[in-house]
Structure 1
Amino acid sequence: MSVLVVVPARFASSRYPGKPLVELAGASGLKKSLIQRSWEAAMAVDGVARVVVATDDDRIRAAARGFGAEVVMTSENCANGTERVAEAFNALGGGFEISVNLQGDAPLTPAWFVEDLVAGLRADPVAEVATPVLRCDGRALNALLADRRAGRVGGTTAVFGWDRKALYFSKEVIPYTGATYADDEDTPVFHHVGCYAYRPSALAAYPRWQAGPLERLEGLEQLRFLERERPMLCVEVPARGRQFWEVNNPEDVPRIEAMLAEMGVE
């Protein structure tokens, strides 16, 4: 019943080259790289047998080893984090019940997001993959809408059915509401948290599939599962007063630093 957490990181991001090594200041002004903060988030998760950073870049490997992370080198041909997790899983010899992809641009991922995600997948005998979703309050929804108006992709939203199985993910803000919400008001929009839990069968199948048209258009790796009609469970996770955001663009750095300061994270 062991759990592997992989933090995939690549240097050659199309939107933000060198992103894993960008430094983020915490509450006291202490700066740590994005990959270190994401690795520390992974290390805080309970019930995990092993945490590794998976990369194809020597600069990221050196930085990760410098702050004490175990590193697995993967191919530069990996198209996304899921392919990189699959390669790392195989390089480690497999044997894990569940593998988690905690993406290297998500340092604000609370431990309970991952713990609830793993518990949700274990409890669902049908799903091969699970991913967390976070109900947006008005503040988060307004931030997503502001990014889209400015021509930026600030996050991904998710819609799912009555059985919590994913229907679609988009970099547009879906569903359309046409309403205005107060900062602390719940909305019907769910922010997709960039984290996945996979059974071994899902990791074995995914790299063999070609990317479909929806994945190519949206640039969202999880759509490959939906285009193959593989069930993906959406696990709603509680915010518990925390804000969540990922580093997608250089403009996100001050936003993340402000959230770190608000939470008192060094």
Structure 2
Amino acid sequence: MIAIPARYASTRYPGKPLVSLKGPDGDKTLIRRSWEAAMAVKGVDRVVVATDDDRIADHATDFGAEVVMTARECRNGTERCAEVAHHLPGYDIVVNLQGDAPLTPAWFIEDLVAGLEADPEAEIATPVLRCDGRALNGLLADRRAGRVGGTTAVFGGQRQGLYFSKEVVPYTGQTFADEAETPVFHHVGVYAYRPDALAAYPTWEIGPLETLEGLEQLRFLENGRRVLCVEVQAKGRQFWELNNPEDVPRIEAMMAEMFG
């Protein structure tokens, strides 16, 4: 099952799920494009939009999505997915495709699920994408401008997550050409959970790292749980999440380039 958590009252970008994105196929909202990305994934039994807002729920129902209403008290998308899994039990793996990631290719999620299935010790898995020079320069430009752009990931030799940050880590101090391979990995905002770990998550206290970074996956690390980082391949596709209003033209340009 794929759950797409979406809330209206975003601190940085209120109403973000209902923002319109212009593509070669016309104008569609962010939440609709994220739902269409989820529907393209092979082998998925169910796709639901998880929200606490009637405006998002009504809009999602209008374009054909199944909606699960969740509590306003959910503090992040993982807690919202945990509530969905409680209402809709029986799935071996629950995928969280966050509602601000409409450019997520289907194979990212397919490879993510396969990676979690192949590693019985991992309780959560998340994709990472090696940055080329253009992607890294975009992350650095956002930080210089004081914007929170993408998240980066650092992991060990067995692909266990060591840290995730809204800063660009690890530090390189180098300049890379647009097409050059870099040592920085962009964290893709998708998660695959085993049900027991997902059910336990809302019962844990929010730790200092999650508080500082505002990254929900750090709660797993702060509670000693193994987070598997699954490297995925871009295959010529560009990837970016919609974090700030400035990201709208960036994503629209990427869609025009890839699908126009």
Q: Do both share a fold (TM > 0.5)? A: yes
Q: Which residue in the other structure is 1:27 paired with?
A: 24
> Matched residues, percent identical?
75
**Aligned partner of residue 250 in structure 2, secondary structure:** helix
Distance 1:202 1:35 in 2: 26
Deviation sequence 1:91-120 (CA, Å, 0-9, x none): 12x100000000000000000000000000
Cα offsets for 1:54-77 (capped at 9, x unmatched): 000000000000100000000000
The amino acid across from 1:33 in the alignment is T
Relative to the length of structure 1, the TM-score reads 0.97
Deviation, structure 1 residue 263: 1.1
Give me the whole-angstrom Cα distance separating, in 2, the residues matched to 1:41 and 1:88.
19
Q: Does 2:131 match 1:140?
A: no
Deviation per residue, 1:214-251 (Å, 9 max, x gap): 00000000000000010000000000011100000000
Distance 1:139 1:180 in 2: 10
Cα distance in 1 for residues equivalent to 2:138 and 2:148: 11
C-alpha separation in 1, matches of 2:197 and 2:184: 27
The counterpart of 2:217, out of the listed 217, 222, 234, is 222
Q: In 2, Cα distance between the equivalents of 1:88 and 1:243?
A: 30
* Cα distance between partner residues in 2 of 1:49 and 1:105: 22
Alignment of 1:116-265 (within 5 A): 116-264=111-259
User: Unmatched 5+ residue regions in structure 1?
Assistant: none
Q: Which runs of 4+ in 1 moved over 6 A?
A: none
CA contact (8 A) 1:132 1:234 kept: yes
- d(CA) in 2 for partners of 1:60, 1:210: 29
Once the two structures are superposed, the pairs formed by residues 75-114 of structure 1 within 5 Å of their partners are 75-92=71-88, 94-114=89-109
How many aligned positions are there? 260
Q: Which amino acid aligns with 1:99?
A: V
1:27 Cα deviation from its structure 2 partner: 2.0
TM-score (norm 2): 0.99
Other structure's SS at 2:185 match: strand
Structure 2 gap ranges (5+): none
| Corresponding position of 1:16 | 13
